[in-house]
Amino acid sequence: MKHISFQGERGAYSEAAATIFFADKIETIPCSTFAEVLKNTEGGRSDYSILPIENSLEGSVGESNDLLLGMSLNAMGEIYYRIRHCLIGTGSIGEIDTVYSHPQALGQCRQFIQEHSLKTIPCYDTAGSVKIISDLNKKNIACIASKRAAKIYDIPIIQEGIENNQNNYTRFLVFSKIKNDEAENCKTSIVFSVKHESGALYHIINEFYQYKVNLTKIESRPNKDTPWEYNFYVDFEGHVDNSSIKEMLQKLRGNTSFLKILGSYPIAKLN
């Protein structure tokens, strides 16, 4: 049986994504933080970790991406999971004045929250917010989480589908100590920082053009160690063991001050 670490309480979207990604029987291990998720797998307590990386409405999950810099695991899979938020609570919509949830979920339901003039209280996890309102047991409070979380904690669903946009997907990456063998239809994720030289980033992007490699994502995030310096997170089509990709990455190292290969994995379909 495979053991998978995820952040949050039972019923979290990360746990739901893990059950879909791994078709066979698994055991999920809830963790309080993203860092603990990765440490579990690095230390052998779990076989895999799953982390939310970006959302189609709210963008990247900063904490997850920052942790990738120091981890010793390999990205070996991805999944796009459709997020359908529910308003959960024991009161009616007219009684509620306060809503709890993870900041990403609050942002994804911003229109609904504003329309109903609700006060927001950020929580560490969507499923955890269901546990909180269950313990508080007040009719004027509610939370935003999944239908599955509401069922686990036996709290009524007041309204389903309250997200700002129905095209609400979160992309999760799966990590392990194992590297995937080369295969077709793969994607590779890397992170790098550029030298303080004129045209450094241009030369890197030009290498992708010269090798006819399709970039699927490029994003900059602040370097936590040096003010006003940035790390670039890049996804591109191809496998790191491909001879052409290997040659391109070697040239990239010459134009970067830091480059880390996060891993290669099959390209997931958006269902």
Q: How many CA atoms lie within 13 A of 44 on its CB side?
A: 0
Q: Tell me what pLDDT residue 57 has.
A: 84
Of 30, 16, 101, 104, residue with least CA distance to 61: 104
Fold of the domain built from segment(s) 186-266: Alpha-Beta Plaits (3.30.70)
Of 28, 126, 170, 188, which is the active-site residue? 170
Given this model, what pLDDT does residue 166 score? 87
Report the C-alpha gap between 193 and 20 in whole angstroms.
Answer: 34
In CATH, 86-160 is 3.40.640.10: no
Q: Which residues of the chain have pLDDT under 70?
A: none
* pLDDT tens digit sequence for 221-267: 998 888 888 999 999 999 999 999 999 999 999 889 899 999 999 99
pLDDT, position 23? 81
State yes or no: is 170 an active-site residue: yes
Amino acid identity, residue 30?
P
Which residue's entry shows tokens 């998978």? 4
Domain 2-83+168-176 and domain 86-160 have a common topology: yes
Q: Please tell me the class of the 2-83+168-176 domain.
A: alpha beta
Domain spans, the chain: 2-83+168-176, 86-160, 186-266
Catalytic residue, chosen from 21, 112, 172, 175, is: 172
Q: What pLDDT does 227 receive?
A: 83
Contact criterion met (CB below 8 Å) for 60 and 221: yes
User: Phi and psi (nearest 5°) for 192?
Assistant: -150, 165
